[in-house]
Amino acid sequence: MKRMHLHVSVDDIDKSIGFYNSLFGATPTVSKPDYAKWMLDDPLVNFAISKRGATPGLDHIGIQVESDAELSEIKERLEKAEMSLLTEEGTTCCYAKSDKHWVQDPSGIAWETYRTLDTAPTFSAQEAIESSGACCAPATQKVQFMSRKQ
């Protein structure tokens, strides 16, 4: 089963949690001082918000899968479309350890396809090294996601 993932950067985590609790009729399944996540069945979505210093608004979109086979299937489709991929294995992001592949759509929106492996005590692996403030989406300047067709 695949689940849509949306991650939104917010400027007030408490007000945003209150708003999304009302909108979804549910409380977060994960709640931290800088992050909250709702794993909803209706609609089938993993919706996350964070206050990590990024400009408020859409941070990235993704597809969460349950198996290595599903993750490989999506990766193969993206490779056949000649999309440049960034692969991260066992990475820590959003208080979870995951295997993932990143691409960027033609408009520049970051997409991740990922399988969650376990929970993590920190927001990201970089958090112990530096407080970057950003979410886990790779910076455009670090990684070129542009289609190889261009």
Could you give the domains of the chain? 3-128 (3.10.180.10)
Which pLDDT score, from 0 to 100, does residue 69 have?
96
Q: Whose CA is closest to 23, among 45, 5, 1?
A: 45
Q: For the segment 99-141, what is each residue's pLDDT rounded down to a tens digit?
A: 999 999 877 889 999 999 999 888 887 654 444 445 677 764 3
**What whole-number percentage of the chain has pLDDT above 70?**
85
Which pLDDT score, from 0 to 100, does residue 141 have?
31
Confidence of residue 22 (pLDDT cuts 50, 70, 90): very high
